[in-house]
Chains A and B, each alone.
Chain A
């Protein structure tokens, strides 16, 4: 007699959610670093221009703060959803 199929559909979807949520969390974390790194190029230029250098630092901090909050919210939400999914497994 041959074996039953080792994978059922529900298990597959739970595995897919694990992959998708963990992937989202990892990508959001790396994207945050890339976003801030690219933004720093612009802010570094603005910091050297006499007219903009006085405001560039506060704007950089505001921009970086909002960006970090956004990306980390996405990463945390994805990890939280993944934990819920793992309980279901």
Chain B
């Protein structure tokens, strides 16, 4: 159901998403209406989690989670608005495709905790018993997904949605941080120590980064990240990682330095996490970070893994 007020246009929502990515926590603290509250959507409509009754309810749910400064529309194929990995997989799996919208400037652990709660409510109130849950996160969305799983598993009685979770797919997610976030962090540190005020102003500008962007420096998904480093993957769930490359080969200097433009292959596949047991990984040459979220070749891989 849509309110009688005129809703913001797409460009306004896109503006909110970009501003929220950089200043999301500040907007949240000021209760600024530009800040998104976390919600789940079905075909552009916000779900009333407490009463999500509609004909499309199926026992399998496929949930898309967007990344920093993005909206759920990042997953839409450019020529086919409204069609994405979830809608295509839903046809194959007889599932309901959903997408998450959230304030990507807030810390990943805050969004992870909120996502955990939202999924618990969704599974509790879904019109038919949920049998299978598939989460697909792009970029920061993969880290929010991991954070939700980790926080759900650490509770004294694990969240009921966790036992329904079958697969998690991390598409271009910086599990070990993004080179760009690290570069901004180091530049701000160096410039902030300069003796001249006008040089320190550049550091101030770089420091206008939301907690969400700070978390991307090392891929932090939990408040105790310094003690924990990368938490383990939740057991009993299939975990898949997808990486993109700017060049045609992993060994190409451009791919080594920049990965898919924002996330290097090693970070997207968690190569330093020796205790992680990923079910499978896939690397896509010549597909950049954004195109990973809506590329037919990536869909073909998802279909192979999930269907």
Contact = CB atoms under 8 A, between A and B. Distances in A.
A89 B30 CA distance: 12
A6 B37 contact: yes
Contacts of B34: 12, 15-16, 18-19
Contacts of B35: 15
Interface string B36-54: 0101001001111001111
B145 interface: no
A34 interface: yes
Contacts of A1: 1, 48, 51, 53-54
A87 interface: no
Interface in A45-89: 89
A3 B121 CA distance: 15
Given A1-B53, A5-B7, A18-B32, A12 B48 contact: no
A6 B16 contact: no
A89 to B, nearest CB: 8
Interface residues of B, number: 35
A7 B8 contact: yes
Contact of B5 (A10, A14, A38): A10
Given A1-B1, A3-B48, A16-B34, A9 B39 contact: no
B274 interface: no
Contacts of B47: 2-3
B27 interface: yes
A34 B46 CA distance: 45
A22 B23 CA distance: 12
B201 A15 contact: no
A3 B7 contact: no
A38 B42 CA distance: 53
Contacts of A4: 1-3, 46
B8 A37 contact: no
B3 to A, nearest CB: 4
Contacts of B236: none
A10 B3 CA distance: 13
A60 to B, nearest CB: 16
B33 interface: yes
B197 to A, nearest CB: 4
A30 B204 contact: yes
B45 A2 contact: yes
B72 to A, nearest CB: 14
B131 to A, nearest CB: 22
Given A4-B1, A18-B34, 6 more contacts: A1-B51, A2-B45, A5-B2, A5-B46, A9-B12, A18-B30
Interface of A: 1-12, 14-16, 18-19, 22, 30, 33-34, 37-38, 89
14 contacts: A2-B46, A3-B45, A3-B48, A7-B33, A8-B6, A15-B16, A15-B27, A15-B32, A16-B34, A18-B34, A19-B32, A19-B34, A34-B197, A37-B198
